Amino acid sequence: MTTTAQDVPGQAPHARAAAGHTRLETTVDVVKGESFKTDWQPPPTLTWPVPEGDYRDQLPPLIREVAEQYAPVVRNGRWTHGLFECWAPKMRVLKAGVHIPCWEAYSLNPFRWRGACFGRTVGECFWVGIHPTRWARSAYGGDLGARFRGKPQSRRTWKEAIASLSALYCGASVAIGCGLGHIWNACGSYGLNTMSWFSCVSRQHLRQRFALPSTFGLPAGCDDCAVHTCCMYCASHQELRELAVRGIGGPGIHVLDVTPRSFSHVPGIDVRLQESTAELAAMEEAPVAFPPAAAIPPAAAIPPATAIPEEVEMQRVP
């Protein structure tokens, strides 16, 4: 059973335009969701050029283009991006929309660092390379908790708010752990994240919004805290990319939102920046989670092993 994204009622105009850009057909029984590693194969819609080498040397796909590319394998009730799939080849197009992998881009070779006094590369490390900022981008851009957005009357820009949230996370983590976790444990990325009690709320909200399964089989909240404690590095990647693959491009989620200068030398970047800015404005006006519930048939029509509850409906970002 299939349905076309253009035929889905109740979507905002920009969402209908984005979904209908290539008139995709959405299938149901394609992917079986897993928390650690997914077993779906790249769909035929995945035609965007796979990034090779330095991701900064080609135009990144827009959020709507990412959603279109992965449309057949995105479903409420299951993760599209596994916790341990940060470097999976099938995730490269998705990764290009939200991330600049430091290993492929510049690694430890200073001759590939860019900007005056390597300032541009330092900025890239802050905005896409460290897990506190990746987490802050998803928590703020995905609106995964009122505590992460701050007061509505605040005069800060969203970029300042994300940077402040990242700084709060880092500062409090160092203070609580007396700096020990950051000395011996890759800055709290693995095994000992002393801020997991604070950051895990965003993961809990993300899972609730899309009915995503737990990782360790623990109760809601406890499971999310355990994931952020044990592997914050992987969790920050998974959550940011899960939002993007579902077509949610709030402030700070797309890579051009946070580090546009990284692509200033790429032909066509001016047009791409205009498109990205317009997409962000539309998302802020009426953000719609992907995929819409109308694309999901009744549970009785799906084999038991991959059935999706009927109560899962299209959910709008608050």
The pLDDT value recorded for residue 123 is: 84
> pLDDT tens digits, the chain, 318 residues: what are they?
333 333 333 333 333 333 333 333 333 333 334 789 898 999 998 999 888 778 888 999 999 999 999 999 999 999 999 999 998 999 999 999 999 887 666 566 666 666 555 556 788 888 998 889 999 999 999 999 888 887 766 678 999 999 999 999 888 888 887 766 655 555 555 667 888 999 999 999 999 999 999 999 999 999 999 999 888 889 999 999 999 999 998 999 999 999 999 899 999 999 999 999 999 888 877 654 444 333 333 333 333 333 333 333 333 333
Distance CA(42)–CA(53), nearest Å, equals 20
Decide: 33 and 77 in contact? Cβ < 8 Å: yes
The pLDDT value recorded for residue 308 is: 34
Taking every pair of Cα atoms in the chain, the longest distance, rounded to a whole number of angstroms, is: 61
Q: Which residues contact 91 (CB under 8 A, 6 or more apart)?
A: 81, 85, 241
The pLDDT value recorded for residue 19 is: 37
Distance CA(55)–CA(52), nearest Å, equals 7
The pLDDT value recorded for residue 65 is: 95
Residue listed under structure tokens 């976790």: 181
Which three-class secondary structure state does DSSP give residue 231?
strand
The pLDDT value recorded for residue 259 is: 92
Distance CA(305)–CA(251), nearest Å, equals 37
Decide: 277 and 269 in contact? Cβ < 8 Å: no
